[in-house]
Amino acid sequence: MNGIKLKGMGRCVPEKIVTNQSLAEIVDTSDEWITSRTGIQRRRHCTAETHTSLCADAARAALARSGVTPDQIGACIVATVTSNTLVPSAACLLQRELGLPTDIPCFDLNAACTGFLFALHTMECLLNASPRKFGLVVGCEVLSRLINWEDRSTCILFGDGAGAAVVECRAGWPSIGAVLGTRGDDELLRVPGVETGPRNFISMEGTKVFKFAVEIVPWCMDWVLQKAGITVDDVDFFVFHQANARIIDLVVRKYRIPPEKYYKNIAEYGNTSAASIPLVLSELQDLGRIGPGSRILAVGFGGGLTWGGALVEFA
């Protein structure tokens, strides 16, 4: 199978900044607790923005950054659990918004916080079978709509945002070597669907998910490295799902990863689920910390339960 590479990243976050202090005015919490337990200081919540506008703005930025035009796109996947409508999917609305070709598959993918990595792997498979060799992968969430303001252990965690990648598939490029896993569990992390009507809140057994995360992230890393036949030292940059700064700190300590080889933006955005990995990639590209030639190991985990890792490179 021919591999894909990242051609260009883009992102969009809502304007409204919600600080820990402002949350402490409406729920029984404190800036000190949130910062020390999660690393989060601020998050963005949508007001005027919509799921579609976040997706479209992030995607437009990625197209501009990559020099690819909408008519060159061979498939579009939006990784999300918070699309505005179930039908049409967010990807269908994005097709209309951007004027993507009508003879390509555009669809949403739900793998919670691992969605972007599931989508990258799916895109690699799709582009191998497509005459058009560029694909659009978006991770977008409006999690502020799912917050239970009576649950202080979850309401402080989540933020809204979108990250997008234009990817290219070319003969001879190595596969991203994605490793993906799934174990059905509707107790640790849950967002009810149509069964329960309009009050669809996120509920989470935080401590159990934390334990799952610190076990599964190293497992994903080892699996990716083993599959590629490389070691930690061969990786230029590590990109982790931003769920809790303490999870990232534990992993980087375990693998002795130096500060210049990983990145945290959870202080600014909180947990943005499927948007978190592409938001990090987009910021890093703008900062010039990753680019052509960088070998990046990305790892995600989340509801489902789902988990995954992949080796991504820039074209």
Active site residues per annotation: 113, 241, 271
How many residues bind ligand UT7 (CB under 6 A)? The answer is 19
Residue 19 touches ligand UT7, criterion: CB under 6 A? no
Extended beta strands in the chain, E state: 3-12, 17-19, 42-44, 73-79, 106-109, 134-142, 160-170, 179-185, 189-190, 203-204, 237-240, 295-302, 304-313
Report in angstroms how near the CB of residue 264 gets to ligand UT7 at its nearest. 14
Report in angstroms how near the CB of residue 29 gets to ligand UT7 at its nearest. 3
Stretch that binds ligand UT7, among 30-38, 96-104, 165-173, 214-222 (CB under 6 A): 30-38
134 vs 301, beta carbon nearer ligand UT7: 301
What is d(CA 180, CA 270) in angstroms, rounded to the nearest whole number? 24
Question: Nearest to residue 7, comparing CAs of 203, 167, 228, 140?
Answer: 167
Residue 302 touches ligand UT7, criterion: CB under 6 A? yes
Give Cα separations from 160 to 65, 171, 236, 276 (angstroms).
22, 36, 28, 10
x-or-dash string of contact with ligand UT7, 164-203, rule CB under 6 A: ----------------------------------------
In sequence order, the 6+-apart residues with CB closer than 8 A to the CB of 268 are 41, 42, 43
Site for ligand UT7 in 61-120 (CB under 6 A): 113
What is d(CA 221, CA 311) in angstroms, rounded to the nearest whole number? 10
- How long is the chain? 315
Residue 29 touches ligand UT7, criterion: CB under 6 A? yes
x-or-dash string of contact with ligand UT7, 226-245, rule CB under 6 A: -----------------xx-
Stretch that binds ligand UT7, among 152-160, 220-228, 230-238, 288-296 (CB under 6 A): 152-160
DSSP-derived secondary structure for 129-185: T-SS-EEEEEEEEEGGGG--TT-HHHHTTB-EEEEEEEEEEETTPPP---EEEEEEE
Report in angstroms how near the CB of residue 256 gets to ligand UT7 at its nearest. 22
Question: Nearest to residue 250, comparing CAs of 205, 213, 208, 221?
Answer: 213
Report in angstroms how near the CB of residue 118 gets to ligand UT7 at its nearest. 14
Residue 238 tokens, joined: 């590590």
Q: Which of 209, 217, 239, 279 binds ligand UT7 (CB under 6 A)?
A: 209
Q: Which residues are near ligand UT7 by CB under 6 A? A: 29, 33-34, 37-38, 113, 152-153, 156, 206-207, 209-210, 213, 243-244, 271, 273, 302
